[in-house]
Amino acid sequence: MENLEIKKHQSKRLIKDLNYLGINTCLRDLKQLPQYLKIFLIFGALVLTFLNFYSFKGFAIDLDSLTEAQQKLLNDVSNNLGSHFTPIIKYSNAYIFGSVIGAPSQGLAVATAIFYSMSGIAAFTGLLSIAMIVYGKMSQFLWGLVNGFFYCMFALVAGFIGDFIMNIVFILGASLGWYLFNYKHKKQFTVRGRSPMYKITFILATVFVVVLVSYLWSLAIPKIYEGTTGLIYNEQIGSGQLLFDAVGNGANLVGYGFQLMNVSEQFWIWMFLNIWKTIQYTPVSSSEWVWTLVIQYSIWTILASFGFWENQLKYLVVWLFPSLQKPKLQSNQT
């Protein structure tokens, strides 16, 4: 009986020591963040929650553009006209017009309202994930998993099929990322200190892989969409959205590979990707402003810039301007 208790205790201790995905230390990791970042995250959470459920535009319909069938459907949701509650607006639009994943129906309308509302949760957990990546915390994989789960549901109803698939990859790869971070790649890899030829080769190879993967995404996304929904991609979504979806996920996949291998140069990709994604959720690519995700990626850009500076940019600045390092050397000598 005593041996059984000892084995149980050892098993519990093993699970605790493993710290799978950073579950055991997620609260401690949050507490260890700088005070200004905690305030920033709280403020961000409040803003994202508000924008997730409130639409400045409100629910409005051009009656002259409706077909007879759509006018009949409008009668069922006419009480929602003028509403600023985003889930109601998304429900009503899907009920009348359908969405990029199906024809009008009540079931689709309910799913659209629920999935679209996930953007706020996805945005906030995404902020936590980036903050943990910047400060090298284990719980980056926990928050990345939660972010991937909620974001992939939103991406599906928003028509970003590449994002939907990529976040399934993030969900499935969370355990692998945790394992590699914890046991294989604790020491960060960087091309700093390597020969100029090595650096040039690394940069050209990275750009080539991003372009190649983006091209493959551009071929795959329409096929996957049409195969799963039975709808024609160009009629429902279009080439502009495909460009952002393909390039974004090409960079995302390469950046994720760098993250798994703990490559310091990953921050160059994250900076590009966050700016690209910010534009993606504006009318340049989407049919409307998706404010929760515009703000999410804007904040991600700010957070990633800390890691970008610490891991990349400050070394580049010192290399370009060696005189900036002299005061520090003199103060060390004194």
pLDDT tens profile 269-281: 988 998 998 898 8
265: tokens are 């140069």
Q: Three-state DSSP class for 102?
A: strand
* pLDDT tens per residue, range 109-163: 999 999 888 888 888 888 888 788 778 788 888 998 999 999 888 888 888 888 8
Q: Is the pLDDT of residue 182 over 70?
A: yes
d(Cα 135, Cα 133) in Å, to the nearest integer?
A: 5
Measure Cα distances from 329 to 196, 205, 220, 267, 311 in Å.
Answer: 25, 36, 54, 27, 20
- pLDDT given for residue 326 in this prediction: 52
Q: DSSP class of residue 325?
A: G
* pLDDT tens per residue, range 44-91: 788 878 888 888 888 988 888 888 899 999 999 999 999 999 899 999
pTM comes to 0.73
Report which of 220, 211, 274 is spatially closest to residue 247, judged by C-alpha positions: 211
Q: DSSP class of residue 180?
A: I
Measure Cα distances from 127 to 87, 88, 163, 285 in Å.
Answer: 23, 26, 17, 22
Q: Is the pLDDT of residue 192 over 90?
A: no
Q: Is the pLDDT of residue 327 over 70?
A: no
Tokens 């689709």 belong to residue? 108
Residue 198 buriedness (CB in 10 A; 0-12 / 13-18 / 19+): exposed
**Least confident window among 9-13, 60-64, 169-173, 219-223:** 9-13
* pLDDT tens per residue, range 273-307: 989 988 988 888 766 777 777 887 887 788 778 77
317: tokens are 């600045």
Give the mean model confidence (pLDDT) for residues 159-182: 85
Measure Cα distances from 314 to 100, 128, 294, 309 in Å.
Answer: 44, 24, 27, 5
- pLDDT given for residue 207 in this prediction: 95
